[in-house]
Amino acid sequence: MLVIGSSNGYGLAARITAAFGCGAHSIGVSYERPGDESRTGTAGWYNERAFVGKAQDAGLAAYSINGDAFSNEIKERVCTLIREKLETVDLVVYSIASPRRLDPKTGELYSSVIKPIGKRYSSKTVDFQSGIVSDISIEPATEEEISHTVKVMGGEDWLLWIRTLLDAGVLERGVKTVAFSYLGPAVTYPIYRDGSIGKAKEDLEQTAPRINALLERIGGVSLISVNKALVTRASAVIPVVPLYLSLLYRVMKNKGIHEGCIHQMLRLFQDHLYSAKPGLPDEAGRIRLDDLEMRPDVQHDVTLLWNRIETENLGSLSDFEGFQREFLQHHGFAMPGINYEADVEP
């Protein structure tokens, strides 16, 4: 398999699931900073190193390329590596979350924004460091900001990857490729699904049929998986979402149906991608791994808590502690057994 965006969150979880659940050899692409003389590297850098070590210990081939996945150079390096080490891949996971993209054709730099569209949006949010619940207002995105966000987070680069891999002859017959999307509840619609990032996700989803047309001659298929809201480096910085996640975690844990990234990817592989009787897609043809999150009883309970939540009852009504811990761990902190005061060789 090839995972584009493999150092954290759903991309890393997909690679782990494929390797240790299916015995898959893999290549991962990520853009992380290694350690230097003055400081340690990013958490994702060490995630990549750790995965490769564990996979090789299990007798699996595993390779990582660090660089800008949007660039032609990295795409070409990946094609060369596949030919040399794996010959072909039969699964391509696209899991990119980036604030910026340098267009490889024009050299223009695009930046994504997380803003509503059409009018100012006001709602509650929580500061993930202090735990203070407050009101927030966000001005609407301009047309240029919307188009830039689509350019960064939409489907154009996914399509370029598949074209490049197909032209290089490194896709196995019957290849599957999957990209991740999110819908969410009504409370997050103005800032997410109906906002600038939602336009990018719509573009990503609309790219799937175009990729299907490309892959038709080798019997391949392109899929969209709508996943559950989870703490990732990308989701945690979206206004309103940290508070929603803290409440959602509380409700789903109380009901015994909470899932992390690994659980979600296990269901994706086991019940959809490689099942003899795959789960049915929704009316838009998407895999719905957010089915438990969007259960009416779950959303009902989250809404009741949302209407009552404030700084004083944050600890008793939500799982803010669990959210905060996960957020810190995504960045390499709050790991049990680690003395963060000790000196380290960067």
What local confidence, expressed as pLDDT, does residue 276 receive?
93
Q: Is the pLDDT of residue 168 over 90?
A: yes
Q: Is the pLDDT of residue 63 over 80?
A: yes
Helix or strand (DSSP H, E) at 65: strand 62-66
In the chain, what percentage of residues exceed pLDDT 90?
91
The pLDDT confidence band at residue 232, using thresholds 50, 70 and 90, is: confident
Q: Give the pLDDT confidence of 292-324 residue by residue, as tens digits.
A: 999 999 999 999 999 999 999 999 999 999 999
CATH numbers and ranges of domains, the chain? 2-114+142-231+258-291 (3.40.50.720)
Output the CA torsion 43→101→264→289 (10° steps): 160
Helix or strand (DSSP H, E) at 215: helix 196-215
The pLDDT confidence band at residue 116, using thresholds 50, 70 and 90, is: very high
According to DSSP, the β-strands at 2-4 and 26-30 are parallel
Q: Number of C-alpha atoms within 13 angstroms, CB side, residue 162?
A: 29
Segment 131-154 shows an average pLDDT of 96
Angle made by CA atoms 121, 127, 132, in degrees to the nearest 5: 100
Q: Which of 10, 94, 182, 192 is catalytic?
A: 192
Query: End-to-end CA distance of the chain, in Å?
Result: 31
Q: How far apart are CA 329 and CA 306, in angstroms?
A: 25
192 is catalytic: yes
Q: Give the pLDDT confidence of 177-215 residue by residue, as tens digits.
A: 999 999 999 888 998 899 999 999 999 999 999 999 999
Chain centroid, CA 200 distance in Å: 14
The pLDDT confidence band at residue 103, using thresholds 50, 70 and 90, is: very high
What local confidence, expressed as pLDDT, does residue 237 receive?
76
